[in-house]
Structure 1
Amino acid sequence: MTVAQPLLNRACGPDIAFAEVDLTLGRTRILDKVSFNVAAGSVHALVGPNGGGKSSLIKTLLGQMPHHGQLTLTWPGEEQIIGYVPQALEFDRGLPMTVDDFMAAMCQRRPAFLGLSRKVAPAIDAALQRVGMLDKRKRRMGALSGGERQRVLLAQGLIPAPQLLVLDEPMSALDEAGIQVFERLLHEWRAAGTTVLWIEHDLEAVARLADRVTGLSRRVLFDAPPKQALTPDRLLSLFSIHPRSESIA
């Protein structure tokens, strides 16, 4: 069985500090004074009920949501490379867009219809190889299974090599082979010192693979290593709270 290993290498990713982060949309408070830290080079999981604010929190981190409070990233050097893997890819499945076309659109400045640039092609080859999709690069994205599309999303998150990687339920559509690919990548990111902030519903995977877990249901209910965080009492409390019961008068 795969288990989380202690951090041995110097981190290349940032420390992240959320300090009393509030987010209100309309009359609904989505995040209520959220405070916790993500250690540099760690795999940090966010767990909680649907609607509990997990995706909103990472959108806040990525600068896509207005908020109150402080959000601080402390980088170890001048480079500040952030990778993001969304939960799913929404697109017209009838489009004649191949895996190569998608990777070109996501990973290079040159228009995708001109093909892969020589500068980026080796990195795209390597990323597709790492996720086991190199032999399907000429397939249409719409013809792939949900798990195969998720592997392609993982591949685009590898280019350029991120120092901070934000993952929004990356295991949701993966089959068993895809899960093994993801777990291998997670260990590689940890070994490289990449900071990983990971939303996940698979609590068994979180228990094995995360260094620390934050339970979020509009506010932080716990923040601890997996063995301390994922107890029956804490999980019952986390998943029994209605996350959006508070409205702003």
Structure 2
Amino acid sequence: MTSKENLVADSTDLPVGASLLAKASELSITSVDEKSSSRAGSLPQWVAGPKLHFADISLTLGRTTILDKVTFQVQPGSVHALVGPNGGGKSSLIKTLLGQMPHQGRLSLEWPGEPGTIGYVPQALEFDRGLPMTVDDFMAAMCQRRPAFLGLSKHYAGAIGDALERVGMQDKRKRRMGALSGGERQRVLLAQGLIPAPQLLVLDEPMSALDEAGIQVFERLLTDWREAGITVLWIEHDLEAVGRLADRVTGLNRRVLFDATPQEALTPERLLTLFSTHPRSAV
């Protein structure tokens, strides 16, 4: 779910083959202090998101090439969309960023000051829907050190309430997670991605299960994040939404086929190339 680590290292490149978060001994990763994060769900007036550098990132599983020398940059404080076909390597690239997949190449974050917090919102939540777990229980389990069965920690109660209110789920805090619709569960996932308040937010198809009201909530959040200076890396299949909301678009089908503004990227020719079974030359 949300990556609760603060990266407290300098912003140098990671060595070849090293994952971002797996280098704990070198990056000196520490947990966020509960007290300092008590109101983390509220949107900060201004934060400084990092710049991301992907340089020749490659990933091979068995004999299958998942990523082939992927190179692009994500500018600080921007909304950067990743688009491409299923199986094109988008989620795998995100997993390399989060330290969950081995890779070759160089991946670095350039923080403007002290390294900050990375938030992550997955595409879907898999769990036993028969569990007697309420929305509050889920948020407690994801966002605090205190065991969820002991209830909300006073340090996080305010932040959790703020985050749920921002996604329109404040009135359903006592509902069981299994009784929620797919769109409502996705809103809860968005809420947990806000605690603690991130400087870098990674979104894996957050609109996939949202209804029209949920989409409006998400689009409002996206505008808020941009205005707050948060760097957003966003995997999305809805190209119309990408065209309206993203600052820059990278087309990925095992390798980068284009990296441009939405107006330059989402042309019929480039999209045909991107969604071809066998990617042709970059255009």
SS at match of 1:36: strand
Q: Pick the aligned partner of 1:105 from 141, 146, 163.
A: 141
Shift of the alpha carbon at 1:132?
Answer: 0.2
Aligned to 2:67: 31
Q: Which amino acid aligns with 2:208?
A: S
Q: Which amino acid aligns with 1:80?
A: G
Q: Which amino acid aligns with 1:60?
A: T
Structure 1 stretches of 5 or more lacking a match?
1-8, 244-249
Aligned to 1:230: 266
C-alpha contact 1:104 1:112 (8 A) present in aligned 2: yes
Shift of the alpha carbon at 1:157?
Answer: 0.2
Q: Which amino acid aligns with 2:80?
A: H
Q: Pick the aligned partner of 2:203 from 148, 167, 180.
A: 167
Moved over 4 A (4+): none
CA deviations on 1:50-92 (whole Å, 9 max, x unpaired) are: 0000000000001110000000100112142000000000000
SS at match of 1:138: coil
The residue correspondences of 1:1-249 to structure 2 (distance < 5 A) are 12-242=48-278
Q: Which amino acid aligns with 1:51?
A: G
Closer/same/farther in 2, CA of residues 216 and 137 from structure 1, 3 Å limit: same
Q: Distance in 2 between matches of 1:11 and 1:126?
A: 18
Aligned to 2:23: none
Q: Distance in 1 between matches of 2:252 and 2:153?
A: 42
RMSD: 1.1
Q: Distance in 2 between matches of 1:162 and 1:189?
A: 10
Q: Distance in 2 between matches of 1:145 and 1:81?
A: 29
C-alpha contact 1:10 1:41 (8 A) present in aligned 2: no
Shift of the alpha carbon at 1:10?
Answer: 7.1
Q: Distance in 1 between matches of 2:115 and 2:258?
A: 32
Residue correspondences, number? 235
Q: TM-score, normalised by structure 1?
A: 0.93
Q: Name which structure has the greater RCO, CA cutoff 8 Å, separation 6+.
A: 1
